[in-house]
Each structure stands twice: as structure tokens, then as C-alpha cells.
Structure 1
Amino acid sequence: MSDGARTALSKSTFHFAAGLGSGVLSAVLLQPIDLLKTRVQQQSGGRVAHPLAAAIADIRAAPRLLPALWRGAVPSALRTGFGSAIYFTALNAIRQSAAATPHLPFSSSSSSSSSLGSKSSSLPQLSNTGNLLAGAVARSFAGLILMPLTVLKVRYESTLYGYSSLVSAARDIARREGFRGFFAGYGATAVRDAPYAGLYVLVYEQSKKRLGRLFAGGGGNPGDNNRGGGGEKMALSRAASINFASGVLSGVVCSVISNPFDAVKTRIQLQPGQYRNMVHAVRRMVREEGFRSLMDGLTLRMSRKALSSALAWTVYEELIRRAEITWSARTHKSL
């Protein structure tokens, strides 16, 4: 294997590890919010007047509060961790390929890796269309691979099933619904995740550009991050602030747009016998509960997605940013 191939493999492995770490961290920290969202969305037919209050009361009534709050944390961490790892690795590969092909309409005029000294990111820069498509394709690919874990997570979190372990949940799904049961709701998930991820990358990158210009007008020289001492610390801190703020903004905007698909997806995964497919689920939910049912869990999902996406992207960007500095230094030494 050539040195170039080893370097490429090493970078891809690091992108995978950085995505895995950031995904697991955000999933574990924010699992209580995700648990509440699932409990709220499982309500149907208006049987519960205040589903959030009922969900909180149900959790508080559990013998042990902390295990009850973090119920489903293991499948959530596995799904989000490996989902983030696959997503970030695929997204980076797509963006690198697009950036290396300047004649494509997806590459930006500054498609090469961002200057570490002037921007908050070291990732390739693409056009708006490129960011939209790259995010959508990468998320759809990751979602398909991780779909069985998603179904297990949702059903394990729900009170509609008395699963005592993930193994028992998997056995019950396989016995009742077969292999197809592990992919229940994938249509709604793909329709939700592809636009969400594409819009997220688009809004995220645009936010970083605008916030970067705003921060650059403040004190300190952004280019100081390639120097030693306090300048480097301030520049790295500023970059993390830009990335986190951009992540929160993107998460809020995209959560509002995609929440109807999330509500439908949860119903199909929890009650596949009552909601056969996405179209049937939408019609039944709107007919029996009104259009408001499509926005069930919006506040919780918006809070969770904004914080988890911002945290995952910030940790990922910082790890890659620091790694790029190290790789760049090693390259200069070898020359």
C-alpha cells in the first residue's frame, strides 16, 4: 500500500472514529429528551389530554428514576454513534470527491479544504446544491444501515411493549413480523432524514460563513490559530462557538420542517398493524386527530435535535480540525 493510500485510509478511519465518539456523546447526554419524545408521539386518538405531563408522571412513578430516564440509552447510543460515524464518513467522502472534481456544479469556488487560519472548519467547501445533495445521500445511506437499531430503540423506549431487553425485542419482532419488521417506517424515515440532512448541511454551512464573518470583525486575528500561545486557544474557542451556534440554528429550522415525517415514522414503527404505510398513517392521523398530530413531540424533538446535532457537529469538527493541523505539521516535516 502506498503512502498516499495509507494516509487516505488513516483519515477515513479518523473521520469514522470522530463521528462515532460525537454521536455516542450526544445520544447518551440527551437520551431523556428523546425518551419523552417517543412517549409523547406514541399517544393516538386523543386518549391522553396532556401526553407530555402523562409521560413525565409515568417516568417519575418508576422504581428508579435514572434508569427510567435513560431507558433505551444503549440502542440509542449504538444507533446514533454508528449512524454518525457512517454519516460523517460518507459525507466527507462525497464532499472530498465533489471538491476534487471542479467541473461539477456541486463544487464551490473555494472547494479545496478550508484554510485553518481563517475559517471555523477544515472540511471541503461545496456549493449550496452540493451541500444539499451530499447531506441527503449520506444520511439516507446511514439510515438504511441503522434502521433495525432505530426500530429496536423506538419500541424499547415505548410503553406499548414490555420488552425486558434488546435481545427479547429483536426476537419478538422477528417472530411477529419477520425480517421486514426491522425496517418498519423506513419510507417515512428516509423522507424525513434525506431533506432534513440536506437542509441541515446547507443551513449549517451558510450559518458558519455568516457567523465567521461576524466573529472575524471582533477582537483577535482568526489567523492566530496556526500560532502558539493564547492566540491559538482563542481561535479554537471561537471556531467551536461558531460551529455550535450554527448547529443549534440548523437543528431548529430543520426540525420544524421535518417533524411531520418523524411523527408518522414513530406511529408506523410502534403500531405497524394500525398504520400500514406512510400515506395511510398520515390520512388516519389527520382524520382522527387533526393536523396538529403531525407536530406531536415538536418541542422535544426540536430541543433534542438542535442540541444533539450542534454537539455532534462541534465535537466532530474540532477533532477533525485538530487532526488536520497535526497531519499538516507531519507533512511539512517529511518534506
Structure 2
Amino acid sequence: MTSTSLTPESTAVPNSTTTRPPPSSTTSRKKALTKSHFLSGGASGILSAVLLQPADLLKTRIQQAPPSGSATATLIATVRTIIRSDTPIRSLWRGTVPSALRTGVGSAIYFSALNTVRTSVAKSRLLPGGGDATGALKTGSSALPVLSPLGNLLTGAGTRAAVGYVVMPITIIKVRYESSMYKYTSMLQAVKDILRVEGFRGFFSGWGATAIRDAPYAGLYILFYEQSKKSLSILYSTGRKMDNSVAAMINTVSGAGAGALATAITNPFDALKTRIQVDPGRYRNLWQAAKMVVTEESGRMRGRALFDGLGLRIARKAVSSAVVWTIYEGLVR
């Protein structure tokens, strides 16, 4: 019987250099992940904007109306005018191109930036009570980095404010396209008119009101959304892996609920923002616009105009949030 000896050549020695991916591989994975969040956010944003453009247009028309008017009467009159026009369908979807462009670009930048910020915060442990650095709820419906409630609030608010400034020029064109006060026939005409009348700063009219609306909205939305997903995931799952259909249902319910609640809280800023962007000559800043809206009301509850369009905005935001976040998380899972 021949004995077999193990020589150094025949012994498998683990090579530590082969067990970890090279830096170039890690960089490629990060770029691919960022691209995935960018494209998923853009696709979900465009789809939501196109589907819900009529609600956004009607909301803008209600908010641009004089405070002394009735919101319900304005809505009915607007719908009648659109229906009686030569092109009612086209009129309802007026401003879809700038709206889809703004929402698509904004969502793409926002979701990719939000994931980057949340991942960095989770890894750095800057805020207490967060999750692990990988960011996945092992038995939950989320594919995003896990943070504490405070982390969700701050990262959502900060990222949204920064992205809002970047896409502000598109937002201005979108709002004025939807308004009945302007008769733009093309985006180029809108750009030329704004530059001629107001100069470059005209593209950033109402950014302060927009930031004051969007930052709290995004922060509150992420806070409510993640807490709702966590609670619903715990109710459904006790350690077992969650399938995609249940995860999508949880994300949809959480998105709709969080969108409706955050919208109701921040609607006054949205009403002021619309007035400043539609008529910057009349409403010069947030404080002056708020005073005018309240003092000019006649026979209506003081401050009620700050909630004009709330019903339409809640309906639109609830549906759009459910659609955008469900599609987004489904694509990046």
C-alpha cells in the first residue's frame, strides 16, 4: 500500500487576495447600482406624471384663482371650460411634456441621490438607531438602506431641497404651462418669454416656497413610508422571506398613506408656491403672498385659501406616491 504524502504543491492554500473583489469591481458595482436607481426613478416618475397630469392641471387652476372665489366653483368652471373646448383631452393633458420632463429628471436625480445619501449615513453611523450598512430589511418589503426615523426625515428633506433647486427652471415652465394665464405653444416660447420679462432669475421664482414645501414633505413622506412598511412587514412576516407580490402590496399601501398624510400637512406651502410662480409680479415672496391670501379673502374662513386644491393634491399625491415608489422599489430589488 503506497502512502500518499501531501506536498506544498498539492495542498490548497487559501489566497486572501482572491477572496475580496478588486477596487475596480467595487467601483463598477457602485456605478451600476447608481445607474439602476437613476433609471428606475426616472421611469417611475415619467409614468406617474403622464397618468396624473389632469389632476395636477386642475389643482394649479384652482390655486391660481382669486382667494375670494370658491374652490369648488372654480373646479367645476374649469372642468366645464375644458370639456367645451375643441380639444378636451389635449386640454386636460396640457403641460404634460414639461411635467414629465420635470418629474422624470427630478425623480431620477432624487432617487439616485437619496440612495447614495442614505447609504453613506447608514455606513457612517452619523445618526443613532439606524440599520446595517447594507440597507435591506431582511423580512421586510424595502430594498433601501435602513435608517432611524430621524435619519429618514433628515435625508429625505435635505435631498429633496437640493434636487428641487436643480430642476426649478423646469418646474417654472411646467406650472405656467398648466396655468390659464399663459398661452405658451412650446417650451422654447416659454423659455424666451421668461428670459425677456424676468431675466434668468425668473426660472427660480418661488424656490423658497418650493423648498419649504418639498423639504418637509419629502422628510415626512420618507418617515411615514418607512415606518408604515416596517409595521406592515412585521404584521405579515415572522422571519420568513417575503415574496415580491406581498412586498409590492405593502409598498403601495404605505406609499399612498404616506403621500396623503404628508400632502395634507404641507399643502399651504404648495398653494403659496403656485401663486408666486404663476404671478411673481403680484406675489413677490412667501411672507407677502401668505398675507395677501389671508387678508384678501372675502366672506370665507381666514386662511382657507391655503388649502385650496387639497382634495385634488391628496388624491394625486397618494396615487403618484404609490405608483412611483412601488415601481421604483420593484425595479431596484
TM-score by length of 1: 0.88
Q: What's the offset of the Cα at 1:119?
A: 1.2
Match of 1:175 among 193, 196, 205: 196
Match in the other structure for 1:147: 168
Match of 2:56 among 34, 37, 48: 34
Match in the other structure for 2:89: 66
In the alignment, the residues of structure 1 paired with residue 162 and residue 128 of structure 2 have an alpha-carbon distance, to the nearest angstrom, of 19
Percent sequence identity over aligned pairs: 52
Q: What's the offset of the Cα at 1:55?
A: 1.2
Match of 1:83 among 89, 106, 109: 106
Letter in 1 for 2:277: Q
Mapping of residues 132-281 of structure 1, within 5 Å? 132-216=153-237, 222-223=240-241, 235-281=243-289
**Alignment length (residue pairs):** 306
SS at match of 1:160: coil
Quick one: structure 1 residues 273 and 25, their matched pair in 2 at CA, closer, same or farther if it must change by over 3 Å? same
In the alignment, the residues of structure 2 paired with residue 110 and residue 40 of structure 1 have an alpha-carbon distance, to the nearest angstrom, of 45
Kindly indicate whether residue 132 of structure 2 is the aligned counterpart of residue 124 of structure 1. Answer: no
SS at match of 2:94: coil
Kindly indicate whether residue 118 of structure 2 is the aligned counterpart of residue 95 of structure 1. Answer: yes
Match in the other structure for 1:298: 310
In the alignment, the residues of structure 2 paired with residue 193 and residue 205 of structure 1 have an alpha-carbon distance, to the nearest angstrom, of 18
Return the index of the structure with the highest Cα Rg.
2
Residues 101, 107 of structure 1: 8 Å contact kept: no
Residues 15, 88 of structure 1: 8 Å contact kept: yes
Q: What's the offset of the Cα at 1:215?
A: 2.0
Unaligned runs of 5+ in 2: 1-22
TM-score by length of 2: 0.89
Residues 157, 214 of structure 2: 8 Å contact kept: yes
Match in the other structure for 1:19: 41
Unaligned runs of 5+ in 1: 226-234, 322-335
CA offsets per residue over residues 47-106 of structure 1, 9 Å max, x none?
A: 46711101111211221121111111101101011111111011100111011113x225
Residues 24, 81 of structure 1: 8 Å contact kept: yes
In the alignment, the residues of structure 2 paired with residue 138 and residue 6 of structure 1 have an alpha-carbon distance, to the nearest angstrom, of 24
In the alignment, the residues of structure 1 paired with residue 280 and residue 303 of structure 2 have an alpha-carbon distance, to the nearest angstrom, of 20
Match in the other structure for 1:318: 330
Residues 168, 203 of structure 2: 8 Å contact kept: yes
Kindly indicate whether residue 290 of structure 2 is the aligned counterpart of residue 282 of structure 1. Answer: yes
Residues 18, 316 of structure 1: 8 Å contact kept: yes
In the alignment, the residues of structure 2 paired with residue 7 and residue 39 of structure 1 have an alpha-carbon distance, to the nearest angstrom, of 45
CA offsets per residue over residues 251-296 of structure 1, 9 Å max, x none?
A: 1110111000000000001111111100000000000123001001
Match of 1:43 among 57, 65, 82: 65
In the alignment, the residues of structure 2 paired with residue 187 and residue 148 of structure 1 have an alpha-carbon distance, to the nearest angstrom, of 13
Match in the other structure for 2:320: 308
Q: What's the offset of the Cα at 1:28?
A: 0.5
Quick one: structure 1 residues 45 and 126, their matched pair in 2 at CA, closer, same or farther if it must change by over 3 Å? closer
Q: What's the offset of the Cα at 1:45?
A: 3.7
Q: What's the offset of the Cα at 1:204?
A: 0.3
Q: What's the offset of the Cα at 1:112?
A: 3.1
Query: What is the RMSD of the two structures over their aligned residues, measured on CA atoms?
Result: 1.5
In the alignment, the residues of structure 2 paired with residue 76 and residue 203 of structure 1 have an alpha-carbon distance, to the nearest angstrom, of 26
Q: Which has the higher helix share?
A: 1
Letter in 2 for 1:25: L
